[in-house]
Structures are given as C-alpha cells and as structure tokens.
Amino acid sequence: MNILSTELIHHPYQAPEGFESPVTPVYKGSTVIFKNVAAMRQRDWRSRNGYTYGLHGTPTTFTLEERLSSLEGGRHCVLFPSGLAALANVALALLKAGDEVLLPDNVYGPNKALAEHELAHWGISHQYYDPLNPADLAARLSSKTRLVWLEAPGSVTMEFPDLLGLVQVCREFEAASPILALDNTWGAGLAFKPFALGLSSGLGSSPPTLLGVDISVHALTKYPSGGGDVLMGSAVTCDEALHLRLKATHMRMGWGVGANDCETILRSLPSMALRYEAQDASARQLAQWLGAQKDVVQVLHPALPGSPGYAHWKALCEGEGEGVGGLAAGLFSVLLDPAWHPAQVDAFCDALKLFKIGYSWGGPISLVMPYDLKGMRLLPSTALKPGHLVRFSVGLERPADLQADLAQALAHSERLASL
C-alpha cells in the first residue's frame, strides 16, 4: 500500500469558509459517515433532516427535489434515472394482482408497453379510455380501478383532453377512489398547475372543491434538462403518505441519479421558462405556416384553433388560474396528404437540414420524426383526418431559418411525386 494513501484521503486542507456561491455544490456519495452508532440508529432514510446513504438522497438531490416540487405546485418529490423509470415506479408502488389501471388511448407509448407486458404478467389488468370523452372514462371505472393515467396532450397525436372533466368523473366515482397520475412532461409545470386544475361543479348541496391530480410525473429529460444531454424523471405529490409509498418502492428498486446530472438540471432550471416560451412561439409560427401549405391536411397543435381539444387547452391554460399564461410546449404534429407515397414522407424528413431525425424534445436542436399510427391506437379517432403523421419538436434556432428548411423539404418531396 502506498504510504501516501491515508494522507491523500485524510488531507488537512479544508475549503475556506466564506465562499458563498449561490450554486448548489455537486455532493457525491454512496456512503455517508455517521458520527457514532447512536447517530446511525437515529437516522431515518425517509426523512430529509439527515442523510443515510447516497441512494436515499444528498444535498444536491434534495435541492433539485425541492425546486421541482415548487415548479409543479406540489410538496414532495422523488427523482428517477429517467422519465420512464418514474412512470414505472408509480405503477409498481400502487398496483397489485387483481387491480386495474386505466390509460388514455394516446398515452406515452412505453407506458402502454409496461401495462401490456410486465403489469399483465403480474395479474394487473388495463383498459384504454378515450381521452376526449370523460363519459368513456366514467364507463370504464370499476371497483378494481386503482390507478388512472392522464396525459395532456396525448403523445404524438397531441389531442388535449378535458383534464378537469376526467379528474371530476374519477373523484365522483363512489365504488373506489383511484389514484390519478398525470404525465406532465408537456406542461412542465409551466402551462398549467396539475394540483390545482380548477373547481369541481359542486354537485347537489356540496360546495365546490379544488380538483387536481395526486401525482405529477415529469420527464426532466425534456425541458428541465433543455440540452438533450440528461435522462431523469420525477414524481411530485402533495400527500405525504402517497409520497412515502413512491419513495419506499424507489428505495427497493434501487433507482439512483447521478450528482452531475442533477447539477446539469439545476443549472438549466432558471432558464426553463424563457426557453419554453421561445420554443412555444416558434412552434406556433411554424405550425400555422405549415397549416397553410397544400400538402398539410391537418395541424395537431393544442393551442391552435381546429386542433383536437383546442377548447380544453384554452380553458385550462388560458384560464384564470395563478401562474397560467396561455403557454404550450414547442411540440406539434402534422398530417401530410394521404395521397403521398410513404417514401415521399421519408424523403421529406431526410431533406430537412436543421430539423434532425431523433426522438425526445425540449432541447436546443429541432427534431422531426415520422410515425405510423397503425398499431399505436386501439380506439378509432374521429378527431384525426387521414394522412401521414410527422411530429416536430421545435428547438431554439431562428424561426425564419426553420421555416425556410421546412419549405425546401416540402418542395423537394413534391418534386419526387412528379417523377
């Protein structure tokens, strides 16, 4: 053993006091040293009043959790190594054999796959409901329903549901009180407040109550990261007992997040609202422009009139609520002329130069992705016109440059049709 080993570890240098940077330090650690055995025995891994083991929290993770709770208007937060891990943890923590989970037909695809594979293997059933029809959800609720997923808007096809109406039918269901979990990646805590969606209509003589979801899950991979460089997820709650259930499963599954990744997100959070607004403005401009092109049969952008669920977006995101300012994420889809050959759709995506072909969104680089809806939806949608779906995630480039890119790629694909 090198004679310096101990000296290197127990070095007398101490960081000077008085370095009062507002930046959260990157605290790394699996092991946390206890002063003595009594201190070790007193420490509760569930409490934020002390530290037990790196997986259960560090000053860096606790700081990020606090900020995300504030962002979403909740009180407690658990971090996960990806958005999908956060979604899976909610199901694992809350469901047992014999239970049923309800998911919107346009739910984030991998959440569907989890229900159809692991959950089904463990004796947990699932059903898909029509997100644009609260009565359809109401008809599917039963005493077996333990968990209802909500997503606003739905993945890829972007239909904006009547979130308040969906929450209300679940709260009024008397045979069971399912837990309501929202995938709030699109809203990001900025477009609307998931724990304060609005007032119930106060049926009969009962006074109106404030309605909200029980759990808000957020893929921090998207806007909070903002760089397309970090994978992380969070689950925010207001109720402490529910938080502790999520946290217990988080502990038993061994989900951990890296301190440097937390720091990256902590560094990006202060600019998130600005980025979100800029990406929203560009996306609306481009979606409107695309809507006027002859090859585009429908634009799917919840904040544009004519898109499925536009009235619901308007009611929720332009409502009276505090901190609600008519925002939408920089994400939209279009349906291209069904007469186009599928090879023309691929050629359109390939011809784009600034829009790169890739999954995810929320980063500085604009992205494009063609989707084949066949097999992605179980229920027939009357809201969508026939056509080839292409989704765009708008980054932070100059909108005029993005529009020119779209124009040259459309012209290129049209030329292919005439060959």
Query: Which residue in the set 134, 224, 228, 233 belongs to the binding site for ligand PLP (CB under 6 A)?
Result: 233
Residues 6+ apart with CB under 8 A from 171: 177, 200, 211
Question: By CB under 6 A, is residue 330 in contact with ligand PLP?
Answer: no
CA distance 57 to 50: 9
Query: Which residue in the set 89, 155, 237, 268 belongs to the binding site for ligand PLP (CB under 6 A)?
Result: 155
What is the nearest approach in angstroms of ligand PLP to the Cβ of residue 111?
7
Q: With DSSP H G I counted as helix, E B as strand and the rest as coil, what are the percentages for the chain, rounded to 5?
A: 35, 15, 45
From residue 108 to residue 147, what is the string marking binding to ligand PLP with x (rule CB under 6 A)? Answer: x---------------------------------------
The DSSP annotation for 111-163 comes to HHHHIIIIIHHTT-EEEEE-TT-HHHHHHH--TTEEEEEEESS-TTT-PPP-H
Closer residue to ligand PLP in complex, CB, 221/237? 221
Interactions with ligand PLP, residue window 200-219 (CB under 6 A): 219
Interactions with ligand PLP, residue window 164-203 (CB under 6 A): 183, 185
CB-side neighbour CA atoms (13 Å) of 264:
17
- The SS3 call for residue 313 is helix
What is the nearest approach in angstroms of ligand PLP to the Cβ of residue 89?
12
What is the nearest approach in angstroms of ligand PLP to the Cβ of residue 110?
7
What is the nearest approach in angstroms of ligand PLP to the Cβ of residue 207?
34
The whole-angstrom distance between residue 146's C-alpha and the CA centroid of its chain comes to 21
**Pairing mode, strands 179-183 and 145-151:** parallel
From residue 45 to residue 64, what is the string marking binding to ligand PLP with x (rule CB under 6 A)? Answer: --------------------
Closer residue to ligand PLP in complex, CB, 221/282? 221
What is the nearest approach in angstroms of ligand PLP to the Cβ of residue 343?
28
Query: Which residue in the set 24, 82, 264, 279 belongs to the binding site for ligand PLP (CB under 6 A)?
Result: 82
Question: By CB under 6 A, is residue 393 in contact with ligand PLP?
Answer: no
Instruction: Return the exposure string of 21-50: e unless at least 16 CB atoms fall within 10 Å of the residue's CB, then b.
Output: eeebebbeeeebeeeeeeeeeebeeeeeee
Residues 6+ apart with CB under 8 A from 311: none
What is the nearest approach in angstroms of ligand PLP to the Cβ of residue 294?
31
Closer residue to ligand PLP in complex, CB, 226/233? 233
CA distance 114 to 84: 10
Question: By CB under 6 A, is residue 302 in contact with ligand PLP?
Answer: no
What is the nearest approach in angstroms of ligand PLP to the Cβ of residue 81?
8
Q: Which stretch in 48-56, 71-79, 80-88, 260-268 sits in contact with ligand PLP by CB under 6 A? A: 80-88
| Phi, psi of 34, deg, nearest 5 | -95, 150
Closer residue to ligand PLP in complex, CB, 290/331? 331
> How many degrees, rounded to 5, is the angle at CA 185 between CA 184 and CA 189?
60
What is the nearest approach in angstroms of ligand PLP to the Cβ of residue 113?
12
Bridge partners (DSSP) of residue 333 are: 300, 391
CB 81 within 8 A of CB 256: yes
Closer residue to ligand PLP in complex, CB, 182/287? 182
Token pair recorded at residue 211: 């309605």
| Phi, psi of 332, deg, nearest 5 | -160, 165
Question: By CB under 6 A, is residue 83 in contact with ligand PLP?
Answer: yes
Residues forming contacts to ligand PLP in the complex (CB under 6 A) are 82-84, 108, 155, 183, 185, 219, 221-222, 231, 233, 360
